[in-house]
Amino acid sequence: MKSLMRQLIVKLAIVIALITASFCLPEEVRAQQVVDKMVATVSAGVKTELITYSDLVWQLALQPDTPLDNPTSADLNRALRLLIDQRLILQEAEKLPTINPTAKEISDARDELAKNFSSVSDFQQRLMRVGLTSVKLDEIIEQRLKMEKYLDFRFRSFVVISQAEIADYYKDVLIPRLKVRSPGRVIPTLDEAKSEIERTLIEAKIESDTDAFLDTARERAEIVMLNPIE
């Protein structure tokens, strides 16, 4: 009963906020405004974040080769799950103001993102089709950089890979994989493969730690589905 009451209160607060905001706009703007569909709210005890249908479509637009016309429920739900995880990480990241990205970091990240598409023109057209402005794009990129910095601070800094782990990976994973995928290929020595193996194990450890962190964060957070994607 308490959980139901909290959900109703959250919904009511959001509706009131949207109505109030709309009446604060000039009349000609209100006449053209299209109310966005509210999909979910996420609260990890810091603040309540609203996820809208536009957020989902913007996420899809930033994923190369993802269709934007009549997006499938599978694509939209994947975007929703990703955005929920991002909101949970971001609420933790914003507790550390020292990790705020610089303007140059945001600009560089935007340029790198555009390289994932067939051309800059294609990238810009996708943004225009979903109404993703340059200001909003920079905001999304800034949030992503904050999350990356937070995960690096929380996990990467403390990852230690032992020589035994590297040797075991070389013997049990790398050599068998190379023999299957590239028979006849000269197999690198342990010393030659050491750096690459260490990078692989570090990334795997960070991914595992991040997954564990998100599992715990989801259990503790209050995630309210306002309009489930069918």
Share of the chain above pLDDT 70, in %: 84
Domain-located, residue 118: no
What is residue 44's predicted lDDT score, i.e. its pLDDT? 85
Starting from the edge strand earliest in sequence, which strands make up the sheet with 48-52, in order? Answer: 48-52, 38-43, 222-225
Q: Quick check: helix, strand or coil at residue 225?
A: strand
Measured CA to CA, the distance from residue 71 to residue 55 in angstroms comes to 13
Domain-located, residue 176: yes
Q: Quick check: helix, strand or coil at residue 152?
A: helix
Choose the weakest-confidence range: 7-21, 38-52, 117-131: 7-21
* Runs of H (alpha helix) within 24-119: 27-32, 53-61, 73-93, 103-114
Domain-located, residue 88: no
Measured CA to CA, the distance from residue 105 to residue 111 in angstroms comes to 10
Domain-located, residue 165: yes
What mean pLDDT comes out for the span 213-218?
94
pLDDT for 157-212, tens place per residue? 889 999 999 999 999 999 999 888 888 788 899 999 999 999 999 999 999 999 99
Domain-located, residue 190: yes
- pTM given for the model: 0.74
What is the span of the domain harbouring residue 179?
158-197
Share of the chain above pLDDT 90, in %: 67
- Structural domains in the chain (count): 1
Domain-located, residue 185: yes
Domain-located, residue 221: no
Q: What distance lies between CA 24 and its chain's CA centroid?
A: 32
pLDDT for 134-167, tens place per residue? 999 999 999 999 999 999 988 988 899 999 999 9
Domain-located, residue 186: yes
What is residue 7's predicted lDDT score, i.e. its pLDDT? 47
Q: Quick check: helix, strand or coil at residue 44?
A: coil
Q: Which residue has the higher pLDDT, 47 or 125?
A: 125
Q: Which residue has the higher pLDDT, 63 or 95?
A: 63
